[in-house]
Amino acid sequence: MSSQLAPAAGAGLTAPTEIKAQVQSHPPIRILSNPTAQAYSHLHPALIASIFGLRFSALVADPVTTLSTLLPVFAVLQIIYVIICLPAAGTTLGSSNKARSNGKIGAGLKRKDADNSIGPKIVPAILSLSLPLVLGTPALTILLILFGAPLTTHLPHTALCAAHMSILAGTGLVYVHGTDASVWREIWSISKAVDTVWGATIGMALGAWLGAVPIPLDWDRPWQVYPITIITGACVGYVLGCWVGRAPFLYGKRIQFSEEAEQVDPEKKDI
């Protein structure tokens, strides 16, 4: 009898350990430590908000033309942001949090200066913008239609709205995580640790969803027409997510879907 119970007891002890190791495998991304990166990481969301606010009246008057002109501006801003502020996928600094958990702090610190150089980051940044734009735009266009966007009309409006959402949500994620399947499983399951990149993505999605609320209301406002409130909500959510995602009370936390995961989720000490 005792020999039969021993494996079960052992399994009960190792299961939480395995879950904990899985949770710890992908810690939050940190903004680069140099002063330029730290300063621009706060300035970038403000630039997005300011430019969108200045063009809001034009957006209400002519959504397609305004979104067409805003798209390349936001694309350039996103490229600048990831190059200056974020560690590229596969770099020592990009994986420094993982190295820290393995006790390999020194190796990451020695290569910080190399990771601060801009030249090698240009091509990865452009690819990180192109991938969400090419793959994310059609996917989000279909998703918007499934959620009620006009199917036979307003297709340019829907496609441009989806393109903006794709570059806002996807550029940073692709740049810092690349094509690491294990990280993307966490992203698709909404279980990734909160940081400024993931916070911006979640904020964009929530903002776009809440932005759809005023469309059917009987207010008769010119800004209620599709897709103005959706893209406005997406931009506002992105900006707030950038700032809130690095706040000490949220940084490193995970959305918990089970009681077991909550019990084993480790404390995050680095901000």
Question: Per residue in 151-169, pLDDT tens?
Answer: 888 999 999 999 999 999 9
Nearest 5°: the CA angle 109, 96, 14 is 135
User: In whole numbers, what is the pLDDT of the chain averaged over residues?
Assistant: 82
Q: What is the Cα–Cα distance from 99 to 154, expressed in whole angstroms?
A: 49
> Can you give the pTM of this predicted structure?
0.80
134 neighbors 174 (Cβ within 8 angstroms): no
Residue 247 pLDDT > 60, yes or no?
Answer: yes
45-49, 90-94, 263-267: which has the minimum mean pLDDT? 263-267
Compare 218 and 31 and report the one with higher pLDDT: 31
Tokens of 52: 């969108």
Q: What is the pLDDT of residues 3-53, one digit of tens each?
A: 444 444 444 444 444 444 444 467 899 999 999 999 999 999 999 999 999
Tokens of 62: 């002519």
Tokens of 60: 């209400």
Tokens of 66: 């305004």
Q: What is the Cα–Cα distance from 60 to 264, expressed in whole angstroms?
A: 48
Average pLDDT of the segment spanning 179-197: 90
CA-based torsion, 28, 190, 138, 67: positive or negative: negative
Cα 263 to Cα 189, 209, 258, 259: the distances in Å are: 18, 31, 9, 6
pLDDT for the residue numbered 116: 59
Helix (H) or strand (E) holding 111: none
Residues of the chain above pLDDT 70, percent: 76
pLDDT for the residue numbered 25: 61
pLDDT for the residue numbered 259: 53
What are the φ/ψ torsions at residue 72 (nearest 5 degrees)? -65, -30
Average pLDDT of the segment spanning 196-218: 93
Q: Where are the beta strands (DSSP E) in 155-260?
A: none
For residue 82, what pLDDT band results from cuts at 50, 70 and 90?
Answer: very high
Residue 89 pLDDT > 60, yes or no?
Answer: yes
* Biggest CA-to-CA distance, the chain: 78
pLDDT for the residue numbered 115: 54
Q: What is the Cα–Cα distance from 52 to 60, expressed in whole angstroms?
A: 12
Average pLDDT of the segment spanning 248-263: 70
